[in-house]
Chain A
Amino acid sequence: MQDLHTNLSLPPVVSTLIEPLPRSPIEALLSVFTRRLVARRPDLLRRLGAVVHVPIAIVPDDMPHAFLLSLDADNSRVAICEKNEIGDAEAIIRAPFLVLLGLLDGTYDGDALFFSRDLRIQGRTEYVLALRNTLEEANLTCGEFFGLADAPARWVDDITRSLLAQVRHFASVSAEWSNRAPGRHS
């Protein structure tokens, strides 16, 4: 069931904890697995069409950094940058981190998130749409992203699914709690 997602923002403490983490190993890891995914699924590049080579910024509202994504046949890259360093992006997608994750694995419907204003887009709308539709087809579960198959994939997917469900539940409960606290208006 899809409900209003505004409660899905991570508490600010998460952002504070993530802030000092080193960026380059995460960047390298994400880039490698993205390249492997693209090599494994040439149909996805076909589906992307004009978005190939186009830098798209993905900006989680509740994270300290932004992701700059560039996809093509042999040099796909994911860069982590400051939120004010996304000037090169042709299109920008903004949403809470958990909402973005839910878009990747198809838990949420992109249009519904747009209607509820949880997802905001800027720049070249056609690129956002092509990326969104390609992700829909990619079925990017954790297992798929890391290139796992069969039992290991199912195992990883089951774990991440239940983990994410718990995190979402935790996020909405904590948001509700902080909204209810006296003197707080969100």
Chain B
Amino acid sequence: MELVCPAGTPAALRAAADAGADAIYCGFADETNARNFPGLNFSPEELSRGVDYAHGRGAKVLVAINTFAQAGSTDLWKNAVDNAADCGADAIIAADIAVLDHAATRHPDLRLHLSVQAAANTPEAIRFYTETFGVKRVVLPRVFSVTEIAALNREIDVETEVFVFGGLCVMTEGRCSLSSYATGKSPNLTGVCSPPDHVDYAEDEAGRMKARLGGFTIDCFERGEPAGYPTLCKGRFSALGRSGYLFEDPVSLNAFELLEELAKAGVTALKIEGRQRGKAYIAGVVGAFRKAVDGLSGGADARAAISALKAMSEGGQQTTGSYRKTWR
């Protein structure tokens, strides 16, 4: 199975390539990708150099142009596709019909991957994208159990890629407007979830930290209590007279224990989340999963390296998410 790793900066791209990534995904520094955070992402020149570096180490570069083009401004997205092609990218990851259509028409030789943001849930939806735009790989929405992925792979004739580590969207990606409800900005509208300019942390005398998004209190951590990202879906709320994590705890995905099952389910590529993370995360996580994937075919035992990743996870907690049916 191919190991697909994140890079939010050229330095992270080099770290991923050095740590043994088979492919590295990244995006341009604008609204065309779903990690549109300040200080993150690539200029076309940086991408071009990044592609050279990655290719020099046998890694591919996949460019995420995976937001939905804004009405009246689709040129920004089309240009991003053209730029990615010019930079020598090995594939484009897209979700919007407008972007897929442009890529398929203008760059028929450029490989297309369907982003998780497209939320293609069924063989019918997947076939629509493969038959219409020639999509070669589908990043599966995080709604499936491993058994369901195996069944799905038997019904489709296209590569599948699944997330194995990192931040975990609790809601179906590409179908969530919680962020814009609180802040006016969302992944589909502007490529950000919980935009940092709407996040506010306040710590009181007792060391208790209150996290607010768009003015709404979304969590409150006691002194020393592990924290998570300021996302609504992992906030603490009250309902039915009780308070708690109604949607999901601050927790990250770690599907290490399921790698063998995922391989048997016919999965082509394993994706690590975290374009917003630092080099230390990239090096640690990519290195550990490189070991783990190699371990499947008789390499060294990766368990120690994987268990060291716990501190990288939100709230210091990990889950296998929807891969186990009981999560639902």
Contacts and interface: CB of A to CB of B under 8 A. Distances in A.
B321 interface: no
A154 B302 CA distance: 31
A126 B224 contact: no
Contacts of A128: 196
Contact of B281 (A4, A49, A111, A134): A111
B12 interface: yes
Contacts of A131: 39
Interface in B3-52: 8-12, 37-40, 43, 46
Given A47-B39, A133-B40, A120 B10 contact: no
A115 B39 contact: no
Interface string A34-55: 0000000001001111110000
Contact of B199 (A111, A125, A137, A138): A125
Contacts, number: 121
A72 interface: no
A121 B278 contact: no
A106 B9 contact: no
B167 to A, nearest CB: 9
Interface in B212-249: 221, 223-230
Contacts of A180: none
Given A48-B39, A114-B227, A129-B37, 5 more contacts: A2-B312, A111-B281, A115-B311, A120-B209, A129-B38
Interface of B: 8-12, 37-40, 43, 46, 195-197, 199-203, 209, 221, 223-230, 250, 276-281, 284, 308, 311-316
30 contacts: A3-B311, A50-B38, A106-B278, A108-B278, A109-B279, A109-B281, A109-B312, A110-B277, A111-B229, A111-B278, A112-B312, A114-B227, A115-B226, A115-B227, A116-B226, A116-B311, A117-B223, A117-B225, A117-B226, A117-B227, A122-B203, A124-B197, A125-B197, A125-B199, A125-B201, A126-B197, A132-B39, A132-B278, A136-B12, A137-B9
3 pairs of A and B residues whose beta carbons are closest in the complex: A133-B39, A130-B38, A130-B39
